[in-house]
Amino acid sequence: QVQLEESGGGLVQAGGSLRLSCVFSGRTINNYAMAWFRQAPGKQREFVAAMWRSGESANYADSVKGRFTMSRDNAGNIFYLQMDSLKPEDTAVYYCASTLGIISARAPHYDYWGRGTQVTVSS
Spell out the residues 6+ positions from residue 44 whose beta carbon is closer than 8 angstroms to its own: none
User: Are the CB atoms for 53 and 99 separated by under 8 Å?
Assistant: no
How high is the pLDDT of residue 29? 86
Length of the chain: 123
pLDDT tens for residues 8-62? Answer: 999 999 999 999 999 999 998 888 999 999 999 999 999 999 998 877 789 999 9
CB of 29 closer than 8 Å to CB of 96? no
pLDDT in tens, 76-121: 899 999 999 999 999 999 999 999 988 999 999 999 999 999 999 9
